[in-house]
Structure 1
C-alpha cells in the first residue's frame, strides 16, 4: 500500500474513532430553549440561532450567545444551552465565557489607543520604548510588525507557565532574549500565545501610568464605556464564567470542516506528513497555559492578564465594543478610538496572504486586528476571531458590531468560517436589507 493511501486510511480512521463513533454513544441533549431578545425586523436571526442547534452546527451539551449592535443600539441578544452542564447551570443573560484569541482584538485596541494619544508610534521600533527588546537582532522590529505577527516571535525561549507569566520581570527577560524564528517583516506567522505578553510589556512601558494590559483595558475601555469584558477576570466575577468544555464535534461539523478547511485537513495529516512544524512548536511552547482545564480554576484565571487568549466577556459586551468602533469610535462625547485609526483598519487594501504558522490560512493583520475585505463594500470588517468559534468584529459598512461566544469548540473556529456565525451573519444582513427597502 502506498504511503499516501496509508495516510488517508489513518486520517479516515482518526475521524471515525475520534469524532463519529463517540457521537453515537454520547447521551442525547434536546435542542435548548432560545432565550433573549431581537428588535423588530430581526426575528429571523432568532430562528437561525435555533436552527444551528437543530441542525447540529451548535451543541446543546454546551451553550452559546450571539449579540449585535446596530448604530449603537442592541438589536440582537440571544443565548441558549448550559453554562455548566455538569451542574445543570443554564446559560443566562450575564454569562461570560473565555473568548480565546478574540482577546487579541482587545489587546490591539489598547495599543491603538496609546498610538492615538501619542504614546506609541506604529512605525517606530519596539526598542524605542523597551531598549532590552533590541537583543538577538530585534532592534529594527517596529510596533507595526509586532502587532501584525511579522516579528518572528511565535515561539519563546522558554515554555510558558502560569508562574512565569505572573512574574512580569522574569517574563519580560524571556521575551527580550527570544530570537526571531524568521526574518522580521518578511512574512506573518500567527503569534498564537506569545503576542499577549509582548503586548502587555509594550503597554506597561508606553502608558504614562505604567498600567498592565488588564488594568489599562478595564480603566480605559470597560469601565468608561460599559463593556462587559475583562483581560484578567476578578475573582468576584468568576461565578458568571461558563465552564469550558471540550465536547466532540458532531459528525456533520467534522465532515464540513474537512470539506471546507484546508487547514483542518492538514491538521489531521500533520502527525503523518510532518507538516505544521511551526504551529506544533508554538503549541508545545505554550506549555501548561494550553491546558484548557486549568483555565477553569479560579485561582489560576483570576487577574490572569493574557491578552492573546484568556479574555472573558459576554457576547453583548463584545458586540457593543466593536459596535462603537463600527460607528466612528465615539459615545456620549467620549472617544474610544479616533476615526482616523478606524479608517486605517477599514480601508487597508493589501488583501490576505498565507500565514506561515497556521499553514496557508489566508489572513491580513492590521495593527493587531484581522481585516476582511467585503465584496461590493468599500470598508473591511475588522476584529478578531477566537478558537472554537468566538467572534468579535466591526462592520463599518452597516454600522454593526458582532459578538459570538461559545463553550463548544467548533473545528471551524477561525474568522467567519464557522457555519454557525456564517448563517447568523447572513440573517443579520438580510434584516438590514429589509430595513433599507
Structure 2
C-alpha cells in the first residue's frame, strides 16, 4: 500500500470529527505521500551514450532514475556481456551547482569498490605463483608477525579477519602518503581479535594491508597503484587510477551527500532503512565504527572533494574511474585476459558464506578473496562477485551469464548494494531480459 492510499484509507475509515489527533495524523500522511511521490530535485534530461537495443529495458531504467528525480547529480552505467560492451550510458550533472554535465570521460570516486581492484591485483599475483591465499603473511612480510599477528594468513587480510579494522596509533595524512611508514604502523599494530576468528569490515586499513603485502610479493616491489597502472590501465587503455594524477582532477565529478528530505523519501520507499538507522545511531560511543571515524580523522567522506585526498594512494577508497572503464577491468578479468580460468573459477565461490554478523557493520556480509558476494538473482546456489562502495558505487560480475555491470554516481545515495534503489532498479531490469 502506498502512502497516498494510506491517506485515502484514513479519510474513509476514520472518524473525522474535528480533533487535533485526527487532523495531525491526516496532515502527516498527506505530507509523507507527497514526499514519496514528488521528485526532490529538478530532473535532468541530459543522457548520453549508447546501448544494444536488446537492452532497452536497462536503458529505460537508467533514464527513469533521472526523470523521476532519483539521481540528484550524475551517474554512469556500463554492462559487458561475453566481453562485449552492450550498455555504456551516462547522464545528469558532474556538478549541478555549476551546471556542468556528465560527459563520456567524466570520472568519479568509487570509494570502497576500489577494494575489488586491489583484490584483483592480489589474485593476479596468486595466478603468477608469487603467493597463495593460504600463506601466512609472515612468509612474505616477516615484520608483520608482531603482537599476536604471526598466524594471520593472506586470506585473513582479504576477508577482513585480520583484526585490524582500527589502529590505536594515530594516522596522519603525512603517514598515509608514506607507504613505508604505513607498513611500520601496521607491523606494530595489535589486533582487536585473534586473526582468523572473526570478520569485521576493514573499511580503511584494508587498502594499506593489501598495498604493503603487494610490495613484498611483487618482483618490482610495486604497490597496488603502480601495479594497476602498469599491468591493467596502460596496457588495455583503461581510465582507472588509485589516487588520480593532478592533470586528471578536472574530470572528477563533484560528490554530494543526501539531504534530510532524501533520507525521509528513501526510507518511505524502502523501510529497511529504519533498521540501518537503528544500527547506526544506537551503536555505543566506543564502537569500532566510531573509532574508524576518529582515526584517521581526515578520511571524512565529505572531504573527498579535496584534490589532496583525490590524489591520495589508498587502495581501499580512492579509486577514480567511470562505469565503462571500471567494468572493462572485470570483463578482462573474467574472460581469461587478466586471470587464468583456474584462478577465476576459484573466485566464484566465497570463503565466508555462513551466517554471521560482521563485527563492524553489524550486518551479514558474504566475503571471499577480497570480494563481496551476493546471491545470484535467478540461479540457486550461484553468486555475483564484486564490491560495493559508499553512496551506491558498484561493480558486479555474473560468471553464469558472463556479465559485468558497473554503476557509479556523484550524487551519493543513502544506501548501497541491496539498499541502493537506483542500482537495484537497473539490476532488476537487466535480469528481466536475460
> What TM-score range do you get, normalising by the shorter chain?
0.7 to 0.9
* CA distance in structure 1 between the aligned counterparts of 2:384 and 2:62, rounded to whole angstroms: 22
1:237 aligned to 2:248?
Answer: yes
Identify the range of structure 1 (224-233 vs 197-206) with the bigger mean alpha-carbon deviation.
224-233
> In the alignment, which residue of structure 1 is the partner of 2:366?
364
1:398 aligned to 2:411?
Answer: no
Question: What are the ranges of 5 or more consecutive residues in structure 2 without an aligned counterpart?
Answer: 1-27
* CA distance in structure 1 between the aligned counterparts of 2:263 and 2:48, rounded to whole angstroms: 23
> In the alignment, which residue of structure 2 is the partner of 1:278?
288
Find 1:251's aligned residue among 252, 264, 268.
Answer: 264
Report the structure number with the largest CA radius of gyration: 2
1:297 aligned to 2:306?
Answer: yes
1:151 aligned to 2:162?
Answer: yes
Once the 2 structures are TM-superposed, how far is the Cα of residue 417 of structure 1 from its aligned partner? 3.0
> In the alignment, which residue of structure 1 is the partner of 2:110?
99
Matches within 5 A, 1:172-183: 172-183=183-194
Moved >4 Å (runs of 4+): none
Find 1:120's aligned residue among 128, 131, 137.
Answer: 131
1:427 aligned to 2:429?
Answer: yes
Question: What are the ranges of 5 or more consecutive residues in structure 1 without an aligned counterpart?
Answer: 1-15, 331-335, 433-437
- How many residue pairs get aligned? The number is 397
* CA distance in structure 1 between the aligned counterparts of 2:233 and 2:90, rounded to whole angstroms: 22
Find 2:336's aligned residue among 321, 329, 335.
Answer: 329
Whether contact under 8 Å (1:126, 1:133) holds in the other structure is: yes
Q: The residue matched to 1:324 in structure 2 has which SS?
A: helix
Q: CA, structure 1 residues 82+159, in 2 after alignment: closer, same or farther (shift >3 Å)?
A: farther
Q: CA, structure 1 residues 329+290, in 2 after alignment: closer, same or farther (shift >3 Å)?
A: farther
Matches within 5 A, 1:37-76: 37-59=50-72, 62-76=73-87
> In the alignment, which residue of structure 2 is the partner of 1:8?
none
Once the 2 structures are TM-superposed, how far is the Cα of residue 301 of structure 1 from its aligned partner? 2.5
Once the 2 structures are TM-superposed, how far is the Cα of residue 224 of structure 1 from its aligned partner? 1.8
* CA distance in structure 1 between the aligned counterparts of 2:83 and 2:180, rounded to whole angstroms: 40
Q: TM-score scaled by structure 2?
A: 0.86
Once the 2 structures are TM-superposed, how far is the Cα of residue 378 of structure 1 from its aligned partner? 5.1
Cα RMSD, aligned residues only: 2.3
Q: TM-score scaled by structure 1?
A: 0.85
Q: The residue matched to 1:388 in structure 2 has which SS?
A: helix
* CA distance in structure 2 between the aligned counterparts of 1:379 and 1:133, rounded to whole angstroms: 36
Once the 2 structures are TM-superposed, how far is the Cα of residue 352 of structure 1 from its aligned partner? 4.9
* CA distance in structure 2 between the aligned counterparts of 1:276 and 1:351, rounded to whole angstroms: 29
Whether contact under 8 Å (1:329, 1:339) holds in the other structure is: yes
Q: CA, structure 1 residues 329+416, in 2 after alignment: closer, same or farther (shift >3 Å)?
A: farther
1:265 aligned to 2:268?
Answer: no
Whether contact under 8 Å (1:83, 1:90) holds in the other structure is: yes
Once the 2 structures are TM-superposed, how far is the Cα of residue 269 of structure 1 from its aligned partner? 3.2
Whether contact under 8 Å (1:38, 1:77) holds in the other structure is: yes
Identify the range of structure 1 (220-229 vs 252-261) with the bigger mean alpha-carbon deviation.
252-261
Whether contact under 8 Å (1:276, 1:359) holds in the other structure is: no
Once the 2 structures are TM-superposed, how far is the Cα of residue 251 of structure 1 from its aligned partner? 2.9
Whether contact under 8 Å (2:351, 2:369) holds in the other structure is: no
Once the 2 structures are TM-superposed, how far is the Cα of residue 360 of structure 1 from its aligned partner? 3.1
Once the 2 structures are TM-superposed, how far is the Cα of residue 298 of structure 1 from its aligned partner? 2.4
Whether contact under 8 Å (2:160, 2:199) holds in the other structure is: yes
Q: CA, structure 1 residues 407+185, in 2 after alignment: closer, same or farther (shift >3 Å)?
A: same
* CA distance in structure 1 between the aligned counterparts of 2:410 and 2:170, rounded to whole angstroms: 26
* CA distance in structure 2 between the aligned counterparts of 1:86 and 1:223, rounded to whole angstroms: 33
Once the 2 structures are TM-superposed, how far is the Cα of residue 318 of structure 1 from its aligned partner? 1.4
Q: CA, structure 1 residues 40+291, in 2 after alignment: closer, same or farther (shift >3 Å)?
A: closer
Once the 2 structures are TM-superposed, how far is the Cα of residue 245 of structure 1 from its aligned partner? 1.5
Find 1:287's aligned residue among 293, 297, 306.
Answer: 297
> In the alignment, which residue of structure 1 is the partner of 2:43?
30
* CA distance in structure 1 between the aligned counterparts of 2:409 and 2:346, rounded to whole angstroms: 30
